[in-house]
Amino acid sequence: MKSDTIHSEVPRRSAPPVRASAAGHLQAWLPKLVLAPSVVISLCFVYGFMLWTFILSLTDSRMLPSYDFVGFAQYARLMNNERWWVAATNLGIFGALFVGCCLVLGAGLAILLDQRIRREGVLRTLYLYPMALSFIVTGVVWKWLLNPGLGIQAMVRGWGFESFTFDWLVDPDMAVYTLVIAAVWQASGFVMALFLAGLRGIDDSILKAAQLDGASLPRVYWRVVMPCLRPVVFSAVMILSHIAIKSFDLVVALTGGGPGYSSDLPATFMYAHAFSRSQIGMGSASAILMLGGVLAILVPYLYSELRSRRHG
């Protein structure tokens, strides 16, 4: 009986190898076929255009691209351009404050939410909602809120505090800080979610052990928990800084780069020069410098992450 069944199975098994190998070929090629269009598209439209931008930044292109190479003259012009330095300084202020405030607020909210409070789900969603909005919407909302004649200033004055002034939006020295307020409002809930996920991954008994060791709650978090969250901090800094560097829509919606060009960021500078001021060459040069900025953050980050993973 046994040997019969074995015999009858052998030819049946050996019959479909042709089909099987065709299927095997298909199986081996299918992922490549499916991925090919996106690889081509990203090669062409991301890396291709990056390369084109770099080439344009070496030319004297103004309203239309030209291919008269002028070396690094556009970069030299950029370095002598006062407006570029305003934009770059603004990016420094905006980036540092935005990343810093988001981390502190996000971590704080996450720690408070992690105390097993009631209605945590509702609060978590509430804090996370701003992230669901586009920066344009955030910009418009805060434009109204910060408008001295319509928003917070008008409201507080309406309550009777006639001397109350909150006009950062129209103050050239302070306009960049309104960008920070709006961006922090939008992104800190997201950072909170990152930290909360990290906190939830920490073994409960570690907190208990630290308590028994005599550490107060702030010290438990500072000495024991936060060091465990280093990867989360890294990811948050990484995500936030590239949001900061490419910030464009928020500036356009909230301040329009103004008053004057006092709240310009490199992205708005680049757009203004490349597309409305017929300075494609200089705009490209500024775009390449921004790319350099992103890479300067990205490369060390990836390096340290990959290295720690290899060690871990």
Partner 1 sequence: MSALEIDNVCKDFGTTRVLEEVSLAIDSGEFLILVGPSGCGKSTLMNAIAGLEPVTSGRILVGGDDITWRTPAERDIAMVFQSYALYPSMTVHGNIAFGLEMRKVPRVEREAAVERVADLLQISHLLNRKPAQLSGGQRQRVAMGRALAREPQIYLFDEPLSNLDAKLRVEMRTEIKKLHQRLGTTIVYVTHDQIEAMTLADSIAVMRDGRILQLGSPDEVYNNPADMFVAGFMGSPSMNFIEARLDGEPGAYRLHIATDGEAELTLPWPASRETPALAEHVGRTLTLGLRPEHFAEEDARLGDRAEGTPLSARVSVVEPTGADILLRLPLGDTEITARVGPDCRVAPGERLGLRVDMRRAVLFDAETEARLA
In this structure, what is the dihedral angle of CA atoms 136, 139, 145, 148, given to the nearest 10 degrees? -130
237 in contact with partner 1 (CB under 8 A): no
307 in contact with partner 1 (CB under 8 A): no
Sign of the Cα torsion 37, 41, 44, 46 reads: negative
304 in contact with partner 1 (CB under 8 A): no
3-state secondary structure of 115: coil
214 in contact with partner 1 (CB under 8 A): yes
3-state secondary structure of 57: helix
Considering the complex, state which of residue 24 and residue 201 has its C-beta at the smaller distance from partner 1.
201
Q: Name the nearest CA neighbour of 186 among 252, 225, 221, 139.
A: 139
Contact between residue 180 and residue 94 where contact means Cβ atoms under 8 Å apart? yes
206 in contact with partner 1 (CB under 8 A): yes
228 in contact with partner 1 (CB under 8 A): yes
Minimum CB separation from partner 1 for residue 121, in Å?
19
Cα 27 from chain centroid? 36
Q: Which region among 44-52, 120-128, 201-209, 247-255 touches partner 1 (by CB under 8 A)?
A: 201-209
Minimum CB separation from partner 1 for residue 102, in Å?
23
How many residues contact partner 1, by CB under 8 A?
A: 19
Among 203, 218, 276, 309, the residue binding partner 1 under the rule CB under 8 A is 203
Sign of the Cα torsion 258, 259, 260, 263 reads: negative
Minimum CB separation from partner 1 for residue 209, in Å?
4
Among 31, 37, 149, 227, the residue binding partner 1 under the rule CB under 8 A is 227
- What span, in angstroms and rounded, lies between the C-alpha atoms of 47 and 100? 31
Considering the complex, state which of residue 33 and residue 212 has its C-beta at the smaller distance from partner 1.
212
Q: Which region among 163-171, 210-218, 254-262, 289-297 touches partner 1 (by CB under 8 A)?
A: 210-218
**What region does 265 belong to: left with phi over 0, alpha with psi -120 to 50, or beta?**
beta
Q: Which region among 172-180, 182-190, 218-226, 301-309 touches partner 1 (by CB under 8 A)?
A: 218-226
210 in contact with partner 1 (CB under 8 A): yes
233 in contact with partner 1 (CB under 8 A): no
Minimum CB separation from partner 1 for residue 307, in Å?
15
Minimum CB separation from partner 1 for residue 233, in Å?
12
Please tell me the total number of residues recorded for the chain in this structure: 312
- What span, in angstroms and rounded, lies between the C-alpha atoms of 166 and 164? 7
Minimum CB separation from partner 1 for residue 225, in Å?
9
312 in contact with partner 1 (CB under 8 A): yes
Q: Which region among 75-83, 116-124, 208-216, 294-302 touches partner 1 (by CB under 8 A)?
A: 208-216
205 in contact with partner 1 (CB under 8 A): yes
Rg of the chain over all Cα atoms, to the nearest angstrom: 28
What is the helix (H) or strand (E) element at residue 243, kind and residue range? helix 230-246
- What span, in angstroms and rounded, lies between the C-alpha atoms of 77 and 81? 6
The neighbouring-strand residues paired with 69 are 59
Q: Which region among 41-49, 89-97, 216-224, 249-257 touches partner 1 (by CB under 8 A)?
A: 216-224
Residue recorded with tokens 């829509």: 249
Considering the complex, state which of residue 123 and residue 215 has its C-beta at the smaller distance from partner 1.
215
Sign of the Cα torsion 213, 214, 219, 220 reads: positive
